[in-house]
Chain A
């Protein structure tokens, strides 16, 4: 005979939140699971990072092998930045050791969503050692 232990309401809550967390994780992974390149647009997606401090949001983007003067940072709306830069030279799949895809890349391109309200018009950018740094002051709550 199997004896079933009665489950408390807290157990049920725990299970519910565990399931919810797993579902979020699955969705997050599905969103991340896409190539880091776009063959049609001839672009590669650069690596990026973000730090949110009490006063500002700092977005950094790794832009190797790009021409410094071609780096563009455009606010698309109040919480999205579009970042792109032209590469110093075209890079083919073959050069990266891939022979089952054909194509070449000319730009690095990505979008970065800012998670808190910021003043896009006060944006400051700098580029050091191929790392783009974008400083966005945070909006104060009114």
Chain B
């Protein structure tokens, strides 16, 4: 028996777009994923079962659920985690999700996340950047008006997702909205969803998300705090580092 199992609860569509929303800077991916689930009325179609995960379950309406679940409809699969992943389980968890997605013949994988900027509270506009698993995907993203993140470091689940997809030749990208590093950032989540609409055509109304922004920031404090702890352990601040390439 493998260390990680993905248990399917419903029939999984083939050829869907698979999205990832994991706790990271500004909780951009989690907030965006939560809004997608609500707006598109996505149902839980599968969940992850593994002893590598912490002994934690999520209770919804008195019933137990895994902290890592996949929601979906006929053309979207959305993998979300309610708690931040510890650095030592990122590789196996992401590998398992990618293998599962590949078996379901997903046409593309997109992770939704953020990239921190200093003095975020002074920013008038938040830019969205992209990195991709293949030159063709990068060109496609740029053609749709998203600026490429050309040089630098990525740390966390979205980094490993992109690398693994590049290794196996699966079309993938990560969309990164400028955001707060340590505070939940619903505005950045709205921007990343705009970017998602540009590159995939998956459109949702973001008005409600912005309207509920302050409430979301208040409710997301605890998950943000746990995420800060994990980000600190995996040296997330390396994303600020200036790279040195030896060629």
Contact = CB atoms under 8 A, between A and B. Distances in A.
Nearest to B224: A47
Interface string B205-243: 000000001110111011011000100000000000000
Contact of A131 (B183, B222, B224): B183
B121 A91 contact: no
Contacts of B229: 32
Interface residues of B, number: 17
A64 B121 contact: no
A128 interface: yes
A64 B213 CA distance: 9
A56 interface: no
Contacts of A97: 219
Contacts of A88: 214
A36 B224 CA distance: 11
A132 B122 CA distance: 12
B217 A62 contact: yes
Given A32-B229, A47-B225, A65 B182 contact: no
A129 interface: yes
A32 B229 CA distance: 10
A75 interface: no
Interface in A99-137: 128-131, 133
Nearest to B62: A99
Interface residues of A, number: 20
Contact of A128 (B122, B183, B217, B225): B122
A133 B121 contact: yes
Contacts of B217: 62, 64-65, 130
A133 B222 CA distance: 21
Contacts of A91: 218
Contacts of A133: 121
B121 A131 contact: yes
A88 to B, nearest CB: 8
Interface in B102-146: 121-122
A96 B221 contact: no
A65 B221 CA distance: 13
Interface in A25-70: 32, 36, 44-47, 49, 60, 62, 64-65
B125 to A, nearest CB: 13
Contacts of A36: 221-222, 225
A129 B219 CA distance: 17
Nearest to A108: B218
Contacts of B214: 64-65, 88, 130
Given A47-B225, A128-B122, A64 B182 contact: no
A23 B225 CA distance: 21
A129 B221 contact: no
Contacts of B222: 36
A133 B122 CA distance: 11
Among A64, A96, A97, A129, residue most surrounded by chain B Cβ atoms (within 10 Å): A64
For the complex of A and B, the 8 pairs showing the least CB-CB separation, nearest first, are A64-B217, A64-B214, A128-B121, A65-B214, A131-B121, A62-B183, A49-B182, A64-B218
Interface of B: 121-122, 181-184, 213-215, 217-219, 221-222, 224-225, 229
